[in-house]
Structure 1
Amino acid sequence: MVELETTVATEFPQFPKLPAELRLLIWRFALPHRVFEIRRETVSIKQDGEADVTKELDHDAWRIRNSDLVAVLLAQPALRSVCREARKYASQTGSWKCVGSRPRGNGGVIRLKTWFDPSTDTLCFDDSAFQNVPARPTERNGLSIEHPNNPAVTRFYFASSPASPICISLAALAGAPGKFFVEQWKRKRGFWSGVPQYQFYHDSILMHLGRSPKVYEIFGRGTDMCHTLLVDARDHGKLRQLRKLYVDESDPVFYQRRVADWLEDITNPDEGYVQQSFKDLKDIWLKGQEDVPSSALVLSPDRASIQMRSLIDPGAVLHTIQKFDHAHDWCKETVKTMPDMQLVVHFRLCITNHDKDCDQKTKSLEN
């Protein structure tokens, strides 16, 4: 019996001879799908006493802070370094976005930039980015511009034509920001205008991992690496894969068993996590309405009489989010006006390479 050796091709010299439409299709699938997060650390204006180093810039003063939780600037995709055709294709929709600045020693300004492609990348907002959203925004040409760091302005700055998918944390919709999003949705412009896909997440997990092949397989490598991952809450296979990665690869100092157990719980086939998350989203949407009735006339359970019953329960679900009677007609009709949002689970890879930390701790113990 003759054994054949398996070989993997590392070159394809016939690629330039392929039809142009086929080459462009290959470039399209080669573009990375990444997430850029807008957080308070990246959108805060200069603090009191700081020098104004952004007066020459045409954007708001954004800062990048040295923390595991800050957004990570995205590098240009590796595709832009392949050839002229690939570079041109990647530049058709992607571009550099100036997201901040810092002073330089000679009095100049160093601009901080991230690559963002609205055709493939997702713009993600967490709850810290919405603390300054005004309760009554001033509108101009469909944009709410009362505050310089308003999410509507941020969204349009990043995701102008074509618009990118948007992901928002459930906590970001609480309180005044919830009313802001409801108002913007009713106008069908501003923040929500042209968005091809809406996502929200209830929970976020910070993963303290090294840079092993298993990590690269999920989060990408090199310039195409993404530190933020949004996983469909119904994709149980992917969630189990991330749970195993968390257990096998986590820094022992940061490993928490309860997180691993929680990841196991949300993959339960009964989808209790999904149902509860959407119920909380509906409660937020109902609370964000302009005129929320405190009570209403409803039929008794035996349908024999009419009773006055409160629509709002006193218990809080998330921050200031109140429970509503979803069986009531007003709630049912109002919920129908919600955008169709996809529930995802938010994973953030720590910017620190914990392989190095573990190596240093091991060496210090050996000495």
Structure 2
Amino acid sequence: MMATEFPKFRDLPMELRVKIWSFCVPGPRVYEMDYPLSDFHSTFPDGEARPRELWSSKSGLWPVISRVCREARDVALNRHRHRYMYVTGEEGQTDEHGVPYPPWTAWNANLPVRFRKGFDIVHLHWHGDYDHHDWLGPPPNPLPSLQWLASQAAAASVSAELLHRFDPDGDKNYSLASVIGSKDAKYFDPHVLYYVVLAIVEIHISAEEAAHAGVFGTLGEEPIRLVDPRDTATVARFRDAWRCGRASVEEPDVAEFFSRVTDAADDYCARVEQWRQELEKKWMWHKCNELRVPEDTHAKIWSDLDQPRELRFDWSRRQLDKGHPWVQKQLAVMPRFEPVLMFRHCTGRCGLAGYANP
């Protein structure tokens, strides 16, 4: 008998077989609402200025084990019916309260795909710069669609450029461009977990290499992974997987990225924490404007409004009075924003000059 064969599998107790099949069911997968555009994100490798592939279409496929046998399909799709309800995001669908899905049709929108209700994650690449073009009219706001889909998913994810751009070098950027306005803060539900992608990293390795590395799921069915940037051990696993497919000389910016995150982890994590604090201040600024806080209260919340206007949006220097009752109330209902790195598995040579996708 070959090492890859196990004819006695059916003789195992059903409970044990079900447990084995369950190990093959993909973990949380990321469904992209729109195509990522490399010009508008911190994307590694920094390749041609063109849209990236939409890899989450793989995440919308039925799990591989659903095609093995009836028992495996039952485990994959039916045994945990409340957990594996598939949602497509099409018109006519409603949530448990009867609220209909607000469709978003734009030039870079993703066609509806299946995601598992209460288990998978929906991600929005879009931010303000997507609208800066002359050849198309302004697209509809995607945030209502994100809000609805996030209520059906386990969590939501957005690009850092939408909320507060992440700069690992800590350079000051006072611009408010490419971020949501105060009127859009209402679309972020305080009961939803929001991952905020600080950087997108493409890992160009074969399916076999990915399976061996085990970084994109047991059977390679999780082509997009979100990782805490402070989880250096997991980031190092993705670095090792990347090294299997490319020499450092081919993607120097990816090599520099991994060096920064793993070899200078303390500095990188400190910058991530600074970013988190700046985002908190920016969010409070949006809430002040959204809720039209009176000027006298506004002045008490921010103790440095008398500084030059060009410095008011240097969030690293802004002073927010966290002891103020209004601030404490808003922080208590502030959505939970967690910084992550997005790793994407591609078997092609996307983003490299001179190479085309297969």
Q: TM-score, normalised by structure 2?
A: 0.61
Q: Is the 1:266–1:272 contact (alpha carbons within 8 Å) kept by the matching residues of 2?
A: no
Who is 2:117 aligned against?
118
Distance 2:241 2:306 in 1: 44
Q: Counting strand residues as a fraction of each chain, which structure ranks higher?
A: 1
Tell me the alpha carbon deviations over residues 97-139 of structure 1, each in whole angstroms, 9 at most, x when there is no partner: 3789xxxxxxxxxx9663422344221122348967xxxxxxx
2:257 to 256, 259, 269: 259
**Does 2:164 align with 1:167?**
no
C-alpha displacement at 1:202, in angstroms? 2.1
Who is 1:63 aligned against?
none
2:24 to 4, 23, 30: 30
Who is 1:345 aligned against?
341
C-alpha displacement at 1:159, in angstroms? 6.2
**Does 2:318 align with 1:324?**
yes
Judged with a 3 Å threshold, the aligned counterparts in structure 2 of structure 1 residues 15 and 113 are, in CA distance, closer, same or farther, namely farther
**Does 2:60 align with 1:70?**
no
C-alpha displacement at 1:214, in angstroms? 4.0
SS at match of 1:226: coil
C-alpha displacement at 1:73, in angstroms? 0.5
SS at match of 1:177: coil
Q: Is the 1:214–1:245 contact (alpha carbons within 8 Å) kept by the matching residues of 2?
A: yes
Distance 1:316 1:345 in 2: 29
The CA RMSD over aligned residues, in Å, is: 4.4
Tell which structure's C-alpha radius of gyration is larger.
1
**Does 2:187 align with 1:184?**
yes
Distance 2:337 2:266 in 1: 21
C-alpha displacement at 1:278, in angstroms? 1.1
The one of the two structures with greater contact order (alpha-carbon pairs below 8 A, sep at least 6) is 2
Matches within 5 A, 1:4-83: 8=3, 10-11=5-6, 13-15=8-10, 17-20=12-15, 23-33=17-27, 34-40=29-35, 67-74=51-58, 75-83=61-69
Judged with a 3 Å threshold, the aligned counterparts in structure 2 of structure 1 residues 25 and 158 are, in CA distance, closer, same or farther, namely farther
Who is 1:238 aligned against?
234
C-alpha displacement at 1:81, in angstroms? 0.9
Judged with a 3 Å threshold, the aligned counterparts in structure 2 of structure 1 residues 82 and 19 are, in CA distance, closer, same or farther, namely same
Distance 2:214 2:148 in 1: 29
The residue identity in structure 2 corresponding to 1:254 is: E
Who is 2:143 aligned against?
151
Who is 2:272 aligned against?
274
The residue identity in structure 2 corresponding to 1:168 is: V
Structure 1 ranges of 4+ moved more than 6 A: 356-360
- Identity across aligned pairs (percent)? 17
The residue identity in structure 2 corresponding to 1:169 is: S
SS at match of 2:252: coil
The residue identity in structure 1 corresponding to 2:158 is: I
Q: Is the 1:199–1:344 contact (alpha carbons within 8 Å) kept by the matching residues of 2?
A: yes
Structure 2's unaligned 5+ residue stretches are 38-49, 92-109, 132-138, 165-175
Distance 1:112 1:204 in 2: 21
Tell me the alpha carbon deviations over residues 7-39 of structure 1, each in whole angstroms, 9 at most, x when there is no partner: 95632634465245x554444432112212222
SS at match of 2:76: helix
